[in-house]
Structure 1
């Protein structure tokens, strides 16, 4: 099977449940690192004008609101976010499924706040439905290292490509020498310089 790189022309980004409460349940990766990676993905999508679908689950409860920074980076997408009422697999929510289809893209990048719950089920559902899926493993985590490892293995076995934030941004950039590539370098350098 030949590999066609994910690019601004063929990919869309799905950010699932990066909510302040839920993020506190993740223990397999430091909170700040996971948050930084999720926001880097949002910034990259904004620079590249990638279609983005945001979703949250039960914002009024312990899960809390989506990261406020997402509203600053992706104001239109934030306003249009799909608010699920506790549906675990985001693809089982009709509004989310329709929003994903409306991107018109067959290559999907997924970052969910918990790899073991929020990410694994939509990722596997989308592969089953004929999408090519990359999961950005370090823009989410799980309550334990074991839970994260098992979720990543399950997705890998199920046909999902696992990637990291830096790796994905480099793939989307294609070249650092373009105007967009130069902006993406700035996003990466800000992080690397702490």
Structure 2
């Protein structure tokens, strides 16, 4: 599937397991950049009034709590996050699957903290269920570069669009002079290295 501009009215954002402990398991990319990208996706969802579904797994164990910044960016979504009891494929959790369905959107922007675990399985399930899935590769990582590459290739072969945070943000903006573009300029600006 080719990369296309995203329509905020047709899109929901799913952020999976960006938890204090799980972020420490990522070895394929800079963890702070990965976290900033995930937070930018949450900010974009809020700026454009797109549904945002947050989920975590076993917060009381090694995975740790969901990153506290989400509570400031999206307090309602943070409070209502789907707290999974350990199921690996978030789409296998009935509460998460119901939350995705409840968005009413058929285009999903998906970022999981680990592309080779948290992202790959729900993405493959979403594609199988007929969703258009955009995987934001740089808002996640994997334990190693090879694990990341394999997961991204598998998702792409299944029909997901592999993209980056900046591509998603600019694709949602479409035109910097539009209301969406104006709302996203500060979000994009925060990602530009100084």
Give the TM-score category using the shorter length: over 0.9
Secondary structure, aligned partner of 2:53:
strand
Deviations 1:13-52 (A, max 9, x none): 0000000100000010101110110011111111001001
Instruction: Flag the 1:4–1:190 CA change in 2: closer, same or farther, 3 A.
Output: closer
**C-alpha displacement at 1:3, in angstroms?**
7.3
The Cα RMSD (Å) is 1.4
Deviations 1:90-145 (A, max 9, x none): 00000000000000001111000000000000000010011110000000000000
Residue of structure 2 equivalent to 1:153:
153
**C-alpha displacement at 1:179, in angstroms?**
3.3
Q: How many residues align?
A: 194
Structure 1 gaps, min length 5? none
Deviations 1:55-114 (A, max 9, x none): 000000000000100010011111110000000000000000000000000111100000
Residue of structure 2 equivalent to 1:33:
33
Q: State the 4+ residue runs in structure 1 displaced beyond 4 angstroms.
A: 1-4
Instruction: Flag the 1:142–1:191 CA change in 2: closer, same or farther, 3 A.
Output: same
> Residues of 2 paired with 1:87 and 1:24: CA distance?
20
Matches for 1:1-194 after TM superposition, within 5 Å: 5-194=5-194
Q: TM-score, length-normalised on structure 2?
A: 0.96
> Residues of 2 paired with 1:121 and 1:49: CA distance?
26
Q: TM-score, length-normalised on structure 1?
A: 0.96
Secondary structure, aligned partner of 2:9:
coil
**C-alpha displacement at 1:183, in angstroms?**
2.9
Structure 2 gaps, min length 5? none
Instruction: Flag the 1:3–1:65 CA change in 2: closer, same or farther, 3 A.
Output: closer
> Residues of 2 paired with 1:30 and 1:152: CA distance?
17
Deviates more, 1:70-79 or 1:184-193: 184-193
